[in-house]
């Protein structure tokens, strides 16, 4: 599993559905650089069991993310038409009607590959002279917090059965923005309003000297 923290988020242009109903082409996270933070998350498939609980939970907290100047963007290996159908299916029938943030279509699976969250890999079969896929051709539950310069500052990868905590995603945004604003670091289990810690140049030099 690649560690993308500290690196530029991989670039892509892809089909997406925005505002719960509108198809767009060449959707890219580049539109947010210099303007917004991004919580970019992957989920395995539309019309499944755990996935709607996560997508609806992100929608429930969307106003909080927006107040923090954060764009929430989801992505799976489904087509834009599958996204649109799911977005227009009532919750009582397993749908996610009411979700308004963008859902990106990664039908080719290249975005999941570039973020290294694809739950399997392509292998060359020398006997048949063909390329086979080993594993599940869907994305793990990956989440990436990207700053306004397009740099990944936090990543979290869950296995397929394990749903994420949206409150934890909010906490990480709070921690990053606190550090950027005050230059102070956030200790374990820190929440907004808790005491932070000052990191002096001497602390950094001492740490580097011991490692």
Question: What is the pTM assigned to this prediction?
Answer: 0.89
Mean pLDDT (whole number) for 105-124: 90
In a domain, 5, yes or no: no
pLDDT computed for residue 207 by the predictor:
41
pLDDT surpasses 90 at 24: yes
6-10, 94-98, 184-188: which has the minimum mean pLDDT? Answer: 184-188
Orientation angle between helical segments 166-182 and 50-60, nearest 10 degrees: 40
pLDDT at 12 over 70: yes
Tell me the residue range of the domain where 114 lies: 14-163
- The pLDDT assigned to 205 comes to 41
Per-residue confidence (pLDDT) for residue 1, from 0 to 100: 65
Q: Judge whether 141 lies within some domain.
A: yes
User: Catalytic amino acids?
Assistant: 51
Residues 108 and 170 both lie in one domain: no
Q: Residues 159, 57: one domain?
A: yes
The whole-number pLDDT of residue 75 equals 98
Instruction: Calculate the CA 61 to chain-centre distance.
Output: 15
Residue 200 has pLDDT above 60, yes or no: no
Decide if 177 contacts 68 (C-beta within 8 A).
yes
């Amino acid at each position: 599993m690649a560690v993308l923290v500290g690196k530029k988020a991989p670039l892509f242009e892809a089909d997406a559905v925005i505002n719960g109903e509108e198809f767009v082409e060449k959707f890219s996270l580049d539109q947010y650089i210099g303007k917004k933070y991004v919580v970019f998350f992957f989920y395995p498939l539309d019309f499944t069991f755990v996935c709607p609980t996560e997508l609806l939970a992100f929608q429930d907290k969307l106003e909080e993310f927006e107040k923090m100047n954060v764009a929430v963007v989801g992505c799976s290996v489904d087509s834009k038409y599958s996204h649109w159908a799911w977005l227009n299916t009532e919750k009582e029938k397993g749908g996610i009607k009411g979700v308004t943030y963008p859902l990106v279509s990664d039908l080719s699976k290249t975005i999941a590959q570039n973020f290294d969250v694809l739950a399997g890999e392509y292998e060359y079969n020398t006997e048949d002279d063909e390329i086979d896929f080993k594993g599940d051709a869907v994305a793990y539950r990956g989440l990436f917090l990207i700053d306004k310069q397009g740099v990944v500052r936090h990543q979290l990868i869950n296995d397929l059965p394990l749903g994420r905590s949206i409150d934890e995603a909010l906490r990480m945004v709070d921690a990053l923005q606190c550090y950027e604003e005050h230059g102070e670091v956030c200790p374990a289990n820190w929440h907004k309003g808790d005491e932070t810690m000052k990191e002096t140049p001497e602390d950094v030099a001492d740490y580097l000297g011991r490692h």
